[in-house]
Amino acid sequence: MSTGFRPQRLLPRTACILLAVPLVLLVAGCGGGGAAAAEDGKLNVVAAEDFWGSIAAQLGGEAVVVTSVITNPAADPHDYEPTSADARALAGAQISIVNGIGYDEWASKLLAASPDSGRTEISVGDVLGLASGDNPHQWYSPASVHRVVDAVVAAYEKARPGKALYFQQQKARFESAGLAEYDRLIARIRARFGGEPVGASESIFEPLAPALGLRLITPKGFMDAIAEGTEATPAEKATADEQLAGRQLKLWVYNSQNATPDVKRLNEAAAAAGIPIATVTETMTPAGASFEQWMTRELRGIAAALAKGAP
């Protein structure tokens, strides 16, 4: 069991999904509701996670009202147990945004239980052509973020054709101004540290590492096991240990929301070996931060840590 980020992972994922069934039946049995516009005719948008909700709100501007189901940095989207209010919000959305890829099955289950031809459903996994078993942490992939931006704007334009120009202006503002520092930091890290070997405690860093030009050499099975709350193999643990003890890494990255005993041990080993350490989180921190504020803070930390180890 995780000692950090995942206090809710006391039940298997299948059991947690089953807990949502009464909510599913409640919503499906109401017979009413359906997609409904927010006040003043604004598009009613509901995102399962606030990192996608932050982006959706900025792209929609004054033409949308965005509600994010998970906004608490301490909540685990994998095993979140939705409330009846969450179920009603998703059922009544004109546009819903879920991560998919096996990450937030509770949200997809609630939508499936309350079908509505008037609702546009965006699944990040479908947008990217990914399925359960692929890395779900695609908000850490800059390329994936830009593809999701395109999908959200396309959904807005379809729902409100008369505001297509406005949505394109919002998109241009978000990509050129909102993501300006984010894109600059990615390019700077890639240019200065491209090719450097790095390690990570879990797979949330896997989509970002190649965008930064970094070689992530921690065993994939080890990172997946930590992310999933399962046990890595002895061989995978031994390799992760050897990489740190042998100073094969220029940077060690760990998820500060999921500091398991194995991760704490490796953090101590990295510090003892003089390997710089940077942190990432699975959900947006602090509460209320925008997507780009969260990401640029983490990228600055990564850049500063890499600079410490540079010759």
In a domain, 4, yes or no: no
| pLDDT top residue among 53 and 75 | 53
- Rounded to 10 deg, the angle between the 220-228 and 234-245 helix axes is 110
> For residue 40, what pLDDT band results from cuts at 50, 70 and 90?
confident
Domain limits at 20?
13-178
Q: Is residue 296's pLDDT more than 90?
A: yes
Say which residue the tokens 């042998």 belong to.
Answer: 246
Candidate from 19-23, 112-116, 227-231, 273-277 with smallest mean pLDDT: 19-23
What is the CA angle 267-272-273, rounded to 5?
100
- At residue 77, the pLDDT reads 87
Q: Are residues 113 and 137 in the same domain?
A: yes
Judge if pTM exceeds 0.85.
yes
Q: For residue 172, what is the domain's CATH number?
A: 3.40.50.1980
What is the rounded average pLDDT for all residues in the chain?
A: 89
> Of the residues 155, 178, 201, which one is the last residue of a structural domain?
178
Q: Are residues 162 and 20 in the same domain?
A: yes
- At residue 28, the pLDDT reads 42
Q: Are residues 168 and 83 in the same domain?
A: yes
CA distances from 16 to 20, 31, 205 (A): 7, 25, 25
- At residue 27, the pLDDT reads 43
In a domain, 33, yes or no: yes
CA distance 190 to 198: 13
pLDDT digits (tens, 9 = 90+) for 248-293: 999 999 999 988 898 999 999 999 999 999 999 999 999 889 999 9
Q: Are residues 40 and 152 in the same domain?
A: yes
Q: Are residues 153 and 256 in the same domain?
A: no
- At residue 78, the pLDDT reads 82
> Residue 264: is it exposed, middle or buried by C-beta count within 10 angstroms (0-12/13-18/19+)?
middle
Q: Are residues 139 and 208 in the same domain?
A: no
What is the CA angle 214-276-309, rounded to 5?
70
| pLDDT top residue among 160 and 30 | 160
> For residue 38, what pLDDT band results from cuts at 50, 70 and 90?
low
pLDDT digits (tens, 9 = 90+) for 137-159: 999 999 999 999 999 999 999 99
pLDDT digits (tens, 9 = 90+) for 94-146: 999 999 999 999 999 999 999 999 999 999 999 999 999 999 999 999 999 99
In a domain, 1, yes or no: no
> Of the residues 178, 205, 221, which one is the last residue of a structural domain?
178
In a domain, 186, yes or no: no
> Of the residues 178, 202, 218, which one is the last residue of a structural domain?
178
Q: Is residue 189's pLDDT more than 70?
A: yes
Q: Is residue 167's pLDDT more than 80?
A: yes
Q: Are residues 238 and 118 in the same domain?
A: no
Q: Is residue 19's pLDDT more than 60?
A: no
- At residue 32, the pLDDT reads 42
